[in-house]
Amino acid sequence: MKIVITGGAGFLGSHLCDLLLENDHHVTCIDNLITGSVNNIAHLINNSNFKFIKHNVSEYIYLSEDVDAVLHFASPASPEDYLNYPIQTLKVGSLGTLNSLGLAKKKNARFLLASTSEVYGDPKISPQKEDYWGHVNPVGPRGVYDEAKRFAEAMTMAYYRYHNVNTKIVRIFNTYGTRMRINDGRAVPNFLSQAIRNDDITVYGTGNQTRSFCYVSDLIAGIYKLLNSDINEPVNIGNPVEFTIIDLAKEIIRLTGSKSKIVYKDLPTDDPQVRKPDITKAENCLNWEPKVNISDGLKKTLEYFRKNIKN
């Protein structure tokens, strides 16, 4: 297939480029590099099946060639990023989604939206199933990301129902792995970089809030299965093994042999207290489940961080 990936130079997008090329697809990566990096795709530049276009997909997307699938992954994704780029986050979730869907419609291509567990907000039920509508503060600081993705889902379903575009929606839960930025701002890169430098590890709130961490290779495998499925409704992809943030910090200290101490800071506004996917739908409909445990995944990620971090 000839596949377009918006945000293809980002953490997830670049891994997706790799998998698609390994499966003999042609990939056009579109990214404005606001949070992505050419370093993530540098190894692909000489691949004849790969093309990179620097472009902001919140503006009109024009491609002359045929397209079989459009995967919309463009968006700031960490709290630090979408708090620094609130307007850009809202634009890429609304205008970027509209432009990407428009490209899919024009080319008669299938469309896959990278959504997020943040559509559930600070959930009142756990684990979170796809039929849960969420508990989101639309005017809080995190609302720029949460509501951008909720709007993107609504727009995607409208194109499916009204224009008969073959759409898919993946709700991505906390994912980690190689190519995460050192200053990403999320728990795993924060804790790893702090532990490697023997700096204090900053835990927000009591540390008893939970997350479920999925290694990037597992997530990408699930997304590829969804792309090739006949499912049009949202699907959770993530690892259902739940960790408290304090336990994650302790595990990373143990794994790195760090001298870091844990310090506590105030919990950010609207920070979710629980996050755990119900992956029954993915298991039954995609025959997918995560394979990499947290210890093995962290070791792979630690190796990458040690090579790239500046002490």
34 and 76 in contact (C-beta within 8 Å)? yes
C-alpha to C-alpha distances, 304 to 211, 215, 283, 290, nearest whole angstrom: 22, 13, 30, 21
Which residues lie below 8 Å from residue 121, measured CB to CB, with a gap of 6+? 134, 135, 136, 137, 146, 270, 272
Backbone angles phi, psi at 28, to 5 degrees: -110, 115
Question: Distance (Å, rounded) from C-alpha 206 to C-alpha 126?
Answer: 19
Question: Distance (Å, rounded) from C-alpha 242 to C-alpha 189?
Answer: 18
Helices 143-163 and 86-107, axial angle in degrees (round to 10): 10
Burial code (b: 16+ CB inside 10 Å, e: under 16) for 69-97 equals: bbbbbbbbbbbbbbbebbebbbbbbbebb
Dihedral sign computed on CA atoms, order 41, 88, 136, 202: positive
Return the active site residues.
Answer: 145
Using alpha carbons, select from 294, 245, 301, 310 the residue that is nearest to residue 271.
245
Dihedral sign computed on CA atoms, order 8, 9, 11, 14: positive
Using alpha carbons, select from 186, 212, 219, 232 the residue that is nearest to residue 277.
212
Question: Distance (Å, rounded) from C-alpha 80 to C-alpha 310?
Answer: 20
Which residues lie below 8 Å from residue 87, measured CB to CB, with a gap of 6+? 144
